[in-house]
Amino acid sequence: MPSYTIEVNGKNLTVDAPEDMPLLWVLRDMLGITGPKYGCGINVCKACTSLLDGEAVRPCSVKVSTAAGRKVTTIEGLADGEKLHPVQQAWLEQDVPQCGYCQPGQIMNAVALLSRSSDPSDEEIDAIENVCRCGTYPRIRAAIKRAAELQSD
């Protein structure tokens, strides 16, 4: 079985896995990194959203071989120790979560959005496909706008 080394949240980790093993299960079932959540397995619900070299990807639909030698950031790797990322801070201020299951993916998606667009328009926010079954959408929208302010400070 091939061996792959991935930099996950700043640490180089090596796994033996089939080439086409989805990254989500490498993270969750092989490395015990459970922040990225399963919701559909086919890149529809976006609950597992994480960053690959800073870009938002859905680990359920990314081969482990694609991630090899690259940097993966999951929700666990977003804060700098105790210091929260501005997006996380905004999420707290807006009291966004209800059940919380989709929020790691929502937050990582927002981080990627804000890195592309420092002051996202409503249309850009409307394009977000991440499902929130509890209906926290209005608070996510407000939190993204607040995070944009925090990042510009």
Partner 1 sequence: MGRHKSAVAERPRRNTVLTTHTVGRRRFLTYLVAAPLLTLGTEAVMQATSSSTPASAAVPSPPSPEDVFDIGEALKLAATPTMPLVQLEVGADGIARLQMPRTDMGQGLLTSFTMIIAEELDVPLDRVEVTHADARPELLFNQITAGSAAMRTFYEPIRQMAAIARARMVAAAATRWDVDGASLGTDAGAVIGPGSLTADFGTLSAAAAALDLATSSIRPKDPSEWELVGTPTGRVDARDIITGQKKFVMDHMAGTAKPALVRRPPTIKGAVGEVRNAAQVRAMPGVVGVVPIPTGVAVVADTIEQARQGVNALEVDFGPGPVDGESNATILEGIKQHVQPFAVPPLGAATVEAEFDWAPACHAPLETECAVADVRADRAEIWAGFQAPIVAQQEIALMLGLPQDAVTAHVVAPGGAFGRKCFFEPATEAAQVSQALGMPVRLMWHRTDDMRHGRQRPQNYHRIRATVVGGQVVAYEQRVSAVALEVAPGFGEILTDVATSLPPRAKNTVGEKAYSQTLFLLMVSSPYNLGVYDRTLAEIGNGIPTSAYRSVHCPTTRTCEEIVLDEVAALLDKDPLEYRKECAKDAAAAAVLDEVARLSGWGRSMPEGFAQGVGFHKESKTLTACVVELDGRDPQDPRVTKVTMVVDAGTVINPSGLEAQMEGCIAEAISLTLTAGLHIENGLPLEGSYSNYDWLRMRHYPKDSTVHIMPSTNEDIGGIGEVGITAASGAIANAYATATGIKPRSFPIVFPVDFEPFAPGALPAPNLI
Find the binding residues for partner 1 in span 3-42 (CB under 8 A).
18, 20-22, 25-26, 28-30, 32, 34-42
DSSP string, 75-136: GGGTSBTTBPPHHHHHHHHTT--SS-SSHHHHHHHHHHHHHH-SS--HHHHHT-----TT--
- Please count the residues of this chain forming the interface with partner 1, following the rule CB under 8 A: 67
Residue 22 three-state SS: strand
Return the residue of 53, 55, 119, 126 that touches partner 1, per CB under 8 A. Answer: 126
Q: How far is the CB of 21 from partner 1 (least distance, A)?
A: 6
Location of structure tokens 């996202």: 120
Residue 61 binds partner 1, judged by CB under 8 A: yes
Nearest-angstrom CA–CA distance, 132 and 102:
6
Return the residue of 7, 13, 70, 101 that touches partner 1, per CB under 8 A. Answer: 101
Q: Which helix (H) or strand (E) holds 148?
A: helix 137-152
* Interface residues toward partner 1, by CB under 8 A: 18, 20-22, 25-26, 28-30, 32, 34-45, 47, 57, 60-63, 66, 74-76, 78-79, 84, 88, 91-92, 95-104, 107, 122, 125-141
